[in-house]
Structure 1
Amino acid sequence: MTRSHLAPVSDEIAYRVPWHFAQAEAHYRLRNTGAETLSGVTFWLFGSGVMPASAPATLHPGDALHLHITGSDLARDTIGIVRWFRLDGTEYLWRVSF
């Protein structure tokens, strides 16, 4: 008996992550490098790093979210997760390492 639980093959081109994440000391910048406006943009921090809370943002192409993140060893014990919605309402998550 043959069973197939594989999803159908899609010919859709992969969606390129529309972000550039840059650092200057404790100040980080998450810039929308894509061609579309992104809504509900939030940044979550997991680990020992600390940052102030912020409300979800809408970022137009070229706009940036400025974040103040501190911690003793972010590269070793902290990750960030960016969450956003495209114009069609599809939700995306992207992991950021320090």
Structure 2
Amino acid sequence: MRRGLGVIEIEHVGCDTAHSVRFALSGDGLLGLSLPRAVHPGERVRVAVRGAQAVGAATAHDAMLVLRWFQPDGTELLWPIPLE
């Protein structure tokens, strides 16, 4: 995972394709458009926190980015990513 100026980039290091991958934000700020998509092993996904409160969201103690995806068998997985 790499971070910089409201942008977070995550590399898929698993063995199987992740399906319906998308991000959600809890806290102030807005996300760049995060449509569900397939992410293949070795591929990277990038998301940007934007808006008038983006700087505050990136440093707020309660702000959380959530990465959501499905495994090939249909199991849903959620990965919480603190933004501070």
The size of the alignment, in residue pairs, is 78
Cα deviation for residue 36 of structure 1 reads 1.1
Q: Residue 93 of structure 1: which of 75, 78, 83 is its match?
A: 78
1:58 aligned partner: 38
Q: Give 5+ residue unaligned stretches, structure 1.
A: 1-20
2:55 aligned partner: 72
Q: Which has the higher contact order (CA 8 A, sep 6+)?
A: 2
2:69 aligned partner: 84
The whole-number CA distance in structure 2 between the counterparts of 1:82 and 1:26 is 15
Q: TM-score, normalised by structure 2?
A: 0.81
- What SS does the corresponding residue of 2:41 show, helix, strand or coil? coil
Cα deviation for residue 51 of structure 1 reads 1.6
The whole-number CA distance in structure 1 between the counterparts of 2:6 and 2:78 is 23
1:6 aligned partner: none
Q: Give 5+ residue unaligned stretches, structure 2.
A: none
The whole-number CA distance in structure 2 between the counterparts of 1:26 and 1:80 is 11
Q: TM-score, normalised by structure 1?
A: 0.71
The whole-number CA distance in structure 2 between the counterparts of 1:35 and 1:81 is 21
Cα deviation for residue 72 of structure 1 reads 2.2
- What SS does the corresponding residue of 2:35 show, helix, strand or coil? coil
The whole-number CA distance in structure 1 between the counterparts of 2:66 and 2:48 is 15
Q: Percent identity?
A: 28
